[in-house]
Amino acid sequence: MQFISKPLTALALLAPLLSAQAGIVLYTDESAYLAAVGATRAYTDFAGNPSASVGGTSFMPETTFGSCTDASVPASCGTSVFHANGSITDLGGSSAPNGVASLAWRLNLGDVFALGFNYLSGDVDSITLLDTALVQQSIDTSTANGFIGLVSDTAFYGAILVSEFPNRIGNDRINMDDFRINATMLAVPEPAGLLLTPLALGLAGLARRGQTRRSGA
């Protein structure tokens, strides 16, 4: 995406690997999401009806929205969307059989751990999250129906909405509305790897003490 492009013991070695992939909590109910997160930091309802292609930075400085001709290729995404009827959608032009593209966004803040949005018209089968190195993580959102909220233990960067019909007969066009960024509550679960790190270091210390006792004997 052009706008996204931008050793002690075995357990001690394993712990960072376990925390490398973000732990994500998916919310498909807006009320439950709002109850689980903190205050709204940024929000847009995409007000207006120009019925035209507009720049993805037109709505909120915290986020750049875009349209991707191939949801699996971040480099295929640009920084414009189609704005109409108080919502945004893709610009089309993809290689999908029906020519529908995918919506995407890049966050211009480095400390976003909770976000949510409403959507109309179609279904979002999954969301591809991208970190600053464009490493992809797919989140199954097929159970959602009109709202998706995400809370992570790792800061979000970019995302592409994957809305493909079964059997790849085409992409399901969606209209995004009410995009919000929230603060998180204090009690955010730590990544599994971070929870294992003290255990790994503790076991490493025990192992060293055991070796010292044996050598002293």
Instruction: Tell me the domains of the chain and their CATH numbers.
Output: 22-186 (2.60.120)
Residue-wise pLDDT for 62-118, tens only, equals 999 999 999 999 999 999 999 999 999 999 999 998 999 999 999 999 999 999 999
Residue-wise pLDDT for 139-161, tens only, equals 999 999 999 999 999 999 999 99
Residue written as token pair 């179609």: 122
d(C-alpha 89, C-alpha 93), whole Å: 12
Contact 135, 5 (CB under 8 A): no
Q: CA nearest 73: which of 147, 158, 140?
A: 158
Give the type of residue at 181: I
Contact 204, 15 (CB under 8 A): no
pLDDT at 210: 52
Residue-wise pLDDT for 117-132, tens only, equals 999 988 999 999 999 9
Please state the rounded mean pLDDT for residues 14-27.
61
d(C-alpha 190, C-alpha 175), whole Å: 33
pTM of structure? 0.77
d(C-alpha 78, C-alpha 165), whole Å: 23
Q: Tokens representing 118?
A: 């409403």
Q: Give φ, ψ of 69 to 5 degrees.
A: -75, -20
pLDDT at 206: 44
